[in-house]
């Protein structure tokens, strides 16, 4: 018996994918903010990649200044509401809360953050604005967390900003890639609309930048170009049978789910390949879509998984079963997926080695590959002088985000190889400052 | 089991917990319900001249998420007909003969006092409490605190009452006065059997930021009210101590002010109260709190080996001295127990900004360190520390030396000039003033993302 029955309506979908960090009401926010100790030089601030002054905004909530709290948050992070919901707060701010050392439940910082920002968004509080126009223009490729954050910061500095987005909605993985129980589409898009209304940057949707000619137009039309392109499709496994029907990439599967909700098809028996956070999400999601059984297969041991512990717990909590020390060798089936042939693995001097003769087939009718996202190597090769490192990440100045082609700047997954929304938001803000520094000097 | 019963100036009660004269004792219904729940006595809501109340009567002081840590009211004395109140007093007494029912009274003329005292006695009240404390509404009519603030007037009225009183008379004192022992002594001179204190403190509990009016708001306006609740306990305890220690007061005292738990009650008793009165806590949580109060008091008495309340009435009084009699050789310093520290650094910032710069931070750890040479033993760090017993104040003197300011004064050993070597802070290290500038900018100022310098637009604006 499955943990969840297959959702057939929007209502059932939202029940199966109930928000992990539901919205606080004013009473809860008052109670929770009252618990904050207001530490000196607070560890939560230090643990936040965007350095939000957390004790300050909590104190503002506690004293009835929710608008001021939202301002504090947005001054540090333009994805303030999204980060409150999608950040792995367990390992960031909340993980650093001193209450943990007292065996007391840490302050629910993420939910308090979203409490304040969501109120500001709904009440359309004018907290931010574009700076005095300075006559310069910046093009931004990609309307994800990095691109939009850079757009906001650049607008605040007086730049004219045009964002070019391949898809038809902003916020990148926040709306296309994050698990639906972390944030709803409506909530993501409301924050995007709120930001755009205040800063007034333009976003051209369904406008992928793909060719040399596209890039040349940007180079000629803009003083600087910010690359917030993120990563590409799911990496191919290069295994026989990978092309079979119902063998899908996790990124693509989650995008389907975010866009189509309960109309997303899932197998009865799903095998998810991978041990990272995306694998945990895909496994949880399959279960919440009503799959009878979901197996999470990873080639090393449980303790070696890259996923956060709380993410694995979350998956286990919805009935996902772990299958460890197995490597896929073939996707078997006849047209459609019918199973995965695995071989058992063992660690030998730190290296994963297969155990000869230990092959077995685990039957299933769907395979989700959560084996990382490809780098956009081809696109990047079109930009003159732009260097990438051995892992395909764009090489950029740590402080300014300037690439080896001085007209180009970058942040987010394309530069860091894949991290959280909060990292992209924080780095993009810095890169926008880098652009400003560069163009002011020019 | 210990005996909780009391005989307060002749008023017998199964336990020392009485409901104070206030809204919870407005009717026979409420008093019976309270006695049924376990309260030992009740001081009836003040009977007296006819009054009319306004709507919107109470205001509250909330602290973060805690409600009613302070409370005030602009309600007057009982607005119910005197005959109804007297009839209900009689009914309660019949039903609860062993409980204490005290009639609180407030009238003006000698004849009125005589009449109402007699009527209360006839109704069967065990005692009388004279309300000389109400700080709002009644004082403007020459009653309540207007009497309590004039010892001679107070004494005269007590004398009138004593002319006809056959039951014990308690005088309830107002705290809205510089020296509460003055009216206490006047009560004694007038012949009163006991005093109770404190009544409410004149107050404005808050101002509405949108309506620009004080709480509680009556049609856009407000008035000062009477303050009570947990916040007033420290004021009550001090005034209680003043009366209990005064050699010329020597009357049983019913302690009132901020009593919500058995602990609060024990504190009042230790400083000289032999009955305690409760109002705000009952208004907040209902009569059921009495179960926690009696059980806590009982357990405390068992733990301490006290058989009756009188075993510890005033037990803390010998330890309350004048400042000049404290031992100046006693020395404590703060000690941070590293294994308990959670690294909030509240002690650091409190000492740094609010005390004596005797705590420092070290690289690589969030556990602060006490600079013992600078620590004056003020307690602040241990008070702000959120962890139980993480910062202790440890004794550093050997306990053999003892000298007080009074002794030093008598021995001519006190600083007398501004630059006197004997002055306390003379050799205490303080940092240079300018060392403060920018000291913690990187820490206390907003997070990393906001450390960007403010950017001014320098380049020319083109088309």
Look at A39 and B447 and tell me if their CB atoms are within 8 Å.
no
A and B: number of Cβ contacts within 8 A? 97
Residues of A with CB under 8 A from a CB of B: 30-31, 33-34, 37-41, 43, 45, 48, 50-54, 56, 62, 72, 75-77, 98-99, 101-102, 131-136, 157-158, 426, 429-430, 433, 436, 439-440
Determine, yes or no, domain membership for B451.
no
Listed residues B281, B298, B319: the one ending a domain: B319
Q: Which class is domain A137-232+375-441?
A: alpha beta
Determine, yes or no, domain membership for B456.
no
Give the Cα separation of B294 and B254 in Å (integer).
17
For A56, which of B345, B349, B446 is closest by C-beta distance? B446
Q: How many CB atoms lie within 10 A of CB B221?
A: 10
B250: left (phi over 0), alpha (psi -120 to 50) or beta: left
Listed residues B319, B342, B367: the one ending a domain: B319
Look at A41 and B387 and tell me if their CB atoms are within 8 Å.
no
Question: Which ipTM did the prediction report?
Answer: 0.90
Give the Cα separation of A272 and A249 in Å (integer).
10
Residues of B in contact with A54 (CB under 8 A): 447
Determine, yes or no, domain membership for B1.
no
Give the Cα separation of B227 and B205 in Å (integer).
8
Interface-testing mutation among A30, A35, A41, with chain B (most B C-beta atoms within 10 A): A41
Question: Does residue A256 surpass a pLDDT of 50?
Answer: yes
Give the Cα separation of A150 and A169 in Å (integer).
17
For B344, which of A37, A52, A426 is closest by C-beta distance? A37
Under the banding of pLDDT at 50, 70 and 90, the label for residue B458 is very low
Length of chain A: 442
Give B48-85 pLDDT, tens digit per residue: 999 999 999 999 999 999 999 999 999 999 999 999 99
B166 and B46 housed in the same domain: yes
Longest dimension (CA), chain B: 99
B361 and B279 housed in the same domain: no
Give B249-298 pLDDT, tens digit per residue: 999 999 999 999 999 999 999 999 999 999 999 999 999 999 999 999 99
For B449, which of A51, A439, A440 is closest by C-beta distance? A51
DSSP letter for B456, please.
P
B242 and B202 housed in the same domain: yes
Residue of B nearest to A137 (CA): B462
- The Cα of B333 is separated from the nearest Cα of chain A by a number of Å equal to 22
Q: Average pLDDT of B113-125?
A: 98
Give the Cα separation of A232 and B346 in Å (integer).
47
Determine, yes or no, domain membership for B454.
no
Question: Does residue B138 surpass a pLDDT of 90?
Answer: no
For B348, which of A30, A40, A132 is closest by C-beta distance? A40
Helix (H) or strand (E) holding B382: helix B380-384
- Residue from B343, B428, B28 nearest A101 by CA: B343
Q: List the 233-272 stretch of B: residues with Cβ below 8 A of A.
A: none
Give the Cα separation of A116 and A32 in Å (integer).
13
- The Cα of B25 is separated from the nearest Cα of chain A by a number of Å equal to 32
B328 and B307 housed in the same domain: no
Which numeric CATH code is attached to A247-369? 3.50.50.60
The ranges assigned to domains in chain A are 20-122, 137-232+375-441, 247-369
Residue B362, chain A, CB below 8 Å: the answer is no
Residues of A in contact with B349 (CB under 8 A): 40
Residue of A nearest to B340 (CA): A102
Residues of B in contact with A76 (CB under 8 A): 446-450
Give B291-332 pLDDT, tens digit per residue: 999 999 999 999 999 999 999 999 999 999 999 999 999 999
CATH (domain of B36): 3.20.20.70
Q: Which residues contact B73 (CB under 8 A, 6 or more apart)?
A: B23, B57, B58, B59, B136, B200, B216, B225, B226, B228
Q: Round the average pLDDT of chain A to a whole number and report it.
A: 96
For A134, which of B440, B446, B457 is closest by C-beta distance? B457
Question: Does residue B446 surpass a pLDDT of 50?
Answer: no
- Residue from B228, B221, B159, B232 nearest B189 by CA: B159
Strand partners, B66: B63
Residues of A in contact with B357 (CB under 8 A): none
B100 and B240 housed in the same domain: yes
E strands, A52-211, are: 137-141, 160-164, 202-204
CATH (domain of B418): 3.30.70.20
The answer to whether domain A137-232+375-441 and domain A247-369 are alike in fold is yes
Residue B373, chain A, CB below 8 Å: the answer is no
Look at B346 and A39 and tell me if their CB atoms are within 8 Å.
yes
Q: Report the helix count and the strand count for chain B, using DSSP H and E.
A: 14, 20
Here the tokens at position B119 are 């009527």
Question: Does residue A121 surpass a pLDDT of 50?
Answer: yes
Residues of A in contact with B387 (CB under 8 A): 102
Q: What percent of chain A has a predicted confidence (pLDDT) above 90?
A: 98
Question: Does residue B462 surpass a pLDDT of 60?
Answer: no
CATH fold for domain A20-122: Fumarate Reductase Iron-sulfur Protein; Chain B, domain 2 (1.10.1060)
Q: What was the pLDDT predicted at B453?
A: 52
Question: Does residue B33 surpass a pLDDT of 50?
Answer: yes
Determine, yes or no, domain membership for B30.
yes
Q: What was the pLDDT predicted at B429?
A: 81
Give the Cα separation of A361 and A352 in Å (integer).
20
Q: Which residues contact B156 (CB under 8 A, 6 or more apart)?
A: B190
Determine, yes or no, domain membership for B198.
yes
Look at B64 and A62 and tell me if their CB atoms are within 8 Å.
yes
Determine, yes or no, domain membership for B455.
no
Q: What was the pLDDT predicted at B455?
A: 47
B260 and B161 housed in the same domain: yes
Vertex B163 angle, CA B162 and B167, to 5°: 50
Under the banding of pLDDT at 50, 70 and 90, the label for residue A391 is very high
Q: What percent of chain B has a predicted confidence (pLDDT) above 70?
A: 95
Number of domains in chain B: 2
- Strand A336-348 and strand A360-363: the pairing is antiparallel
HEC profile of B223-261: CCEEEECHHHHHHHHHHHHHHHHCCCCCCCEEEECCCCC
Vertex B208 angle, CA B205 and B209, to 5°: 130
Question: Does residue A216 surpass a pLDDT of 60?
Answer: yes
Under the banding of pLDDT at 50, 70 and 90, the label for residue A406 is very high
B313 and B371 housed in the same domain: no
Determine, yes or no, domain membership for B96.
yes
Quick one: CA dihedral B437, B438, B443, B447, positive or negative?
positive
Give B334-350 pLDDT, tens digit per residue: 999 999 999 999 999 99
Domain that holds residue B235: 6-319
Under the banding of pLDDT at 50, 70 and 90, the label for residue B456 is very low
Residues of B in contact with A47 (CB under 8 A): none
Look at B449 and A102 and tell me if their CB atoms are within 8 Å.
no
> Residue A266 to residues A263, A301, A322, B193, B357: CA-CA distances in angstroms?
9, 26, 19, 86, 64
B274 and B389 housed in the same domain: no
Active site residues of B: 134
B71 and B203 housed in the same domain: yes
> Residue B143 to residues B49, B132, B149, B223, B257: CA-CA distances in angstroms?
10, 7, 10, 18, 21
- The Cα of B282 is separated from the nearest Cα of chain A by a number of Å equal to 23
B306 and B332 housed in the same domain: no
Under the banding of pLDDT at 50, 70 and 90, the label for residue B442 is low
Under the banding of pLDDT at 50, 70 and 90, the label for residue A32 is very high
């Amino acid at each position: 018996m499955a943990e969840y029955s297959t959702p057939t309506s929007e209502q059932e979908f939202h029940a199966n994918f109930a928000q992990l960090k539901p919205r606080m009401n004013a009473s809860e926010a008052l109670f929770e903010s009252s618990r904050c100790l207001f530490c000196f030089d607070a560890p939560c601030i230090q643990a936040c990649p965007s350095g939000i002054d957390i004790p300050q905004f909590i104190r503002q909530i506690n004293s009835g200044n929710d608008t001021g709290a939202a301002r504090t948050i947005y001054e540090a992070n333009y994805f303030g509401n999204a980060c409150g919901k999608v950040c792995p707060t367990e390992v960031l701010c909340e993980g650093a809360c001193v209450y943990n050392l007292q065996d007391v439940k840490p302050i629910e910082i993420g939910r308090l953050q979203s409490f304040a920002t969501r109120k500001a968004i709904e009440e359309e509080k004018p907290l931010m604005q574009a700076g005095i126009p300075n006559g310069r223009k910046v093009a931004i490729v990609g309307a994800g967390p990095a691109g939009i954050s850079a757009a906001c910061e650049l607008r605040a500095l007086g730049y004219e900003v045009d964002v070019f987005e391949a898809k038809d909605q902003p916020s990148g993985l926040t709306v296309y890639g994050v698990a639906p129980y972390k944030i709803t589409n409506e909530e993501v898009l409301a924050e995007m609309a709120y930001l755009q209304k205040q800063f007034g940057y333009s976003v051209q949707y369904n406008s992928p930048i793909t060719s040399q000619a596209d890039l040349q137009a940007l180079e000629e039309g803009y003083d600087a170009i910010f690359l917030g392109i993120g990563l590409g499709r799911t990496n191919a496994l290069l295994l026989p049978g990978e092309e079979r029907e119902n063998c899908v990439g996790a990124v693509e599967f989650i995008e389907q789910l975010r866009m189509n909700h309960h109309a997303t098809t899932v197998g009865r028996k799903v095998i998810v390949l991978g041990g990272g956070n995306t694998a945990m999400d895909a496994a949880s999601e399959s279960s919440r879509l009503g799959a009878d059984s979901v197996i999470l297969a990873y080639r090393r041991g449980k303790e070696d998984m890259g996923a956060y512990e709380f993410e694995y717990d979350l998956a286990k909590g919805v009935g996902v079963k772990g299958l460890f020390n197995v490597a896929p060798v073939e996707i078997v089936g006849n047209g459609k997926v019918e199973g995965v042939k695995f071989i058992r693995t063992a660690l030998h001097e730190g290296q994963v080695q297969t155990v000869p003769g230990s092959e077995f087939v685990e039957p299933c009718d769907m395979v989700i590959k959560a084996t990382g996202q490809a780098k956009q190597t081809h696109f990047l090769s079109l930009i003159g002088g732009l260097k990438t490192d051995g892992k395909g990440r764009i090489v950029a100045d740590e402080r300014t985000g300037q690439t080896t082609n001085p007209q180009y700047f970058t942040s987010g997954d394309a530069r860091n190889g894949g991290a959280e929304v909060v990292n992209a938001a924080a780095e993009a803000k810095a890169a926008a400052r880098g652009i400003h520094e560069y163009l002011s000097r020019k | 089991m210990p005996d909780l019963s009391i005989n307060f100036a002749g008023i017998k009660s199964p336990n020392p917990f009485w409901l104070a004269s206030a809204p919870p004792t407005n009717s026979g219904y409420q008093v019976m319900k309270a006695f049924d729940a376990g309260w030992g006595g009740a001081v009836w809501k003040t009977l007296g001249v006819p009054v009319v109340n306004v709507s919107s009567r109470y205001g509250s002081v909330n602290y973060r998420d805690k409600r009613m840590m302070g409370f005030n009211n602009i309600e007057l004395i009982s607005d119910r007909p005197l005959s109804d109140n007297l009839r209900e007093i009689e009914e309660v007494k019949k039903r609860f003969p062993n409980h204490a029912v005290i009639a609180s009274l407030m009238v003006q003329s000698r004849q009125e006092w005589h009449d109402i005292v007699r009527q209360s006695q006839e109704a069967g009240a065990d005692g009388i409490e004279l309300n000389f404390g109400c700080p709002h509404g009644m004082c403007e009519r020459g009653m309540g605190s207007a009497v309590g603030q004039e010892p001679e007037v107070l004494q005269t009225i007590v004398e009138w009452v004593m002319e006809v009183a056959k039951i014990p008379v308690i005088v309830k004192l107002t705290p809205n006065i510089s020296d509460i022992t003055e009216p206490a002594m006047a009560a004694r001179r007038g012949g009163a059997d006991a005093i109770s204190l404190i009544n409410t403190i004149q107050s404005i509990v808050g101002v509405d930021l949108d309506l620009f009016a004080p709480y509680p708001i009556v049609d856009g306006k407000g008035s000062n009210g009477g303050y009570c609740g947990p916040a007033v306990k420290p004021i009550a305890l001090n005034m209680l101590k003043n009366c209990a220690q005064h050699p010329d007061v020597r009357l049983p005292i019913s302690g009132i002010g901020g009593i919500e738990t058995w602990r609060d009650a024990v504190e009042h008793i230790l400083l000289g109260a032999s009955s305690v009165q409760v109002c705000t806590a009952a208004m907040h949580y209902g009569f059921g709190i009495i179960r926690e109060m009696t059980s806590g008091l009982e357990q405390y008495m068992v733990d301490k080996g006290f058989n009756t309340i009188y075993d510890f009435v005033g037990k803390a009084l010998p330890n309350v001295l004048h400042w000049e009699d404290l031992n100046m050789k006693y020395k404590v310093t703060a000690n941070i127990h590293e294994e308990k520290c959670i690294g909030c650094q509240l002690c650091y910032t409190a000492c740094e900004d609010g005390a004596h710069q005797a705590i420092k931070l070290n690289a690589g750890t969030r556990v602060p360190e006490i600079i013992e040479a600078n620590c004056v033993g003020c307690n602040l760090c241990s008070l702000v520390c959120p962890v139980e017993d993480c910062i202790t104040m440890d004794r550093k003197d050997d306990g053999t030396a003892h000298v007080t300011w009074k002794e030093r004064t008598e021995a001519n050993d006190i600083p007398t000039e501004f630059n006197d070597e004997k002055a306390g802070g003379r050799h205490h290290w303080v940092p240079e003033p300018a060392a403060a500038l920018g000291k913690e900018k990187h820490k206390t100022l907003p997070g990393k993302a906001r450390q960007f310098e403010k950017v001014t637009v320098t380049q020319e604006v083109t088309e």
